[in-house]
Amino acid sequence: MIQPVVAIHGGAGTMSRASISPEQEREYLDALNQILAAAQAVLARGGSALDAVTEAVTRLEDCPLFNAGHGAVYTSAGTHELDASIMDGATLRSGAIANVNCVRNPVLAARCVMENSKHVFFVGQGAEAFAREQGLEIVDPSYFSTPARYEQLLRVQREQPGAAVLDHDGQAMVAGMQPAAAPIDPDRKFGTVGAVALDAQGNLAAATSTGGVTNKQVGRVGDAPLIGAGCYASNATCAVSTTGTGEMFIRMVASYDVAAQMEYRGATLEEAAHSVVHDKLPRIGGKGGLIAVDGQGNVSLTFNTEGMYRGHARVGEAPVAAIYR
**Tens digits of residue pLDDT in 11-36:** 998 877 666 788 989 999 999 999 99
**How far is 302 from 308, CA to CA, in rounded Å?**
9
State residue 148's pLDDT score: 85
Residue (of 151, 150, 99) closest to 129 by Cα position: 99
Residue closest to 197 by CA, chosen among 91, 86, 309, 302: 86
Question: How many angstroms separate the CA atoms of 119 and 266, rounded?
Answer: 32
Domain regions of the chain by residue span: 5-144+187-324
Q: What is the pLDDT of residue 146?
A: 86
Opening angle at CA 70, ends 23 and 76, nearest 5? 105
pLDDT of residue 187: 74
Kindly report, residue by residue over 36-92, the tens digit of the pLDDT: 999 999 999 999 999 999 999 999 999 999 999 999 999 889 899 999 999 999 999
Active site residue 192: yes
Binding residues for substrate, by number, are 220-223, 243-246
Residues with Cβ within 8 Å of 102's Cβ and at least 6 positions away in sequence, in order, are 128, 138, 139, 140, 141
Using N-to-C axis directions, what is the helix angle for 124-133 and 106-116, rounded to 10°? 80
Candidates 14, 54, 58, 192; catalytic one: 192
Q: What is the pLDDT of residue 176?
A: 36
Binding-site residues from annotation:
220-223, 243-246
pLDDT tens for the chain, residues 1 to 325: 899 999 999 999 887 766 678 898 999 999 999 999 999 999 999 999 999 999 999 999 999 999 999 999 998 898 999 999 999 999 999 999 999 999 999 999 999 999 999 999 999 999 999 999 999 999 999 999 888 888 888 888 888 766 665 422 322 333 234 445 688 887 777 789 999 999 999 999 999 999 998 888 999 999 999 999 999 999 999 999 999 999 999 999 999 999 999 999 999 999 999 999 999 999 999 999 999 999 999 999 999 999 999 999 999 999 999 999 8
| Residue 158, pLDDT score | 84
Architecture field, domain 5-144+187-324? 4-Layer Sandwich (3.60)
